[in-house]
Amino acid sequence: MELKLGSLISPLGIARLFQILFSCTAFSLVAAHESYHNSYGAWSMFTWCLCFAVSIIVVVVELIGVAESLPLSWQDFTSAFSMLAALMIFTTSIVYPSVFIPGRCRSDGCSYEAAATAMSCFCFVAYAVEVGLTRAKEGEVSSFLASVPGLLKVFEAYVACLIFSLVDFTKSYTRHAGLQWCLAVYCICFIITLLIIILTVGRCLAALPIPLDKTLVGYNLLAVLMYVTAAIVWPIYSFRNFPRPSPCNANTCAEWNNRLGVTFLTFFNLIAYIVDLVYSSKMVFVTTPA
């Protein structure tokens, strides 16, 4: 077995080495100071550890040159993971310092937390660089998940996961049929989008007996229409007879803030599906003259 040392010194390989370094440093600092005692800390540790472990695997697979023999589309997998990792690290880089730094700085200092946050931000930059390096350029024949529509699929699925976490916290969807419809929209679109990602990584999407490109355009159109209804219905039923509490603090405003968070995330995903529809329609129906 011949080692492909060139994979380590390429721009992509260097970005992955930085990902490993920064994620390892981030969770090591937090573990050393035991600053992960609640669910937000557990999420942050999970994110850093997952990204560290998977990046190690990616680097090793690239180094020993066995990617082609794996029963999956390696380029689709690495493109999807780098996008997912960038989103997870970005979220962690915002959530962790906002939860842990204020309290620590008022008591026994927050140098460990601040350093971990800095490493997390650097790690996000490293994953963003990988996304930029592997993204398929316009007119380039590449894997689906390396294209703009493919990267948007990962973004849409991740935002849906964030919505689920906030919706589950509020439990507000149990009170109105309109909110239950919104939850159904989030679930249906998430399941189909996740299925598309899994089938693509597993090299199964192209084997389906359907006109794939036009089917994806049709699904994106349906998702846009469904999210339009959710973007209208969710805020109407969420905030009707439920004004912002006054005074507002971490305890009294928790549910209201989560409802507001779901509202913004719904609009983010609506925009993502619209952009996805535009790009996928352009790829299918707009031909470039030779």
* Residue 288 in this model has a pLDDT that exceeds 70: no
Predicted confidence (pLDDT) per residue in 89-145, tens digit? 999 999 999 888 876 666 666 788 899 999 999 999 999 999 999 887 665 556 788
Owner of token pair 């009294």: 252
Q: Hey, what are 250's tokens?
A: 């971490």
Q: Whole-number mean pLDDT of the chain?
A: 87
H-assigned helices in 171-211 = 177-201
Owner of token pair 């990046």: 55
The predicted structure's pLDDT at residue 252: 64
Rounded CA gap, 22 and 24, in Å? 5
Q: Hey, what are 139's tokens?
A: 């007119």
pTM reported for the whole predicted model: 0.91
What is the chain's Cα-based Rg? 21
39-64 vs 11-33: helix crossing angle, rounded to 10: 150
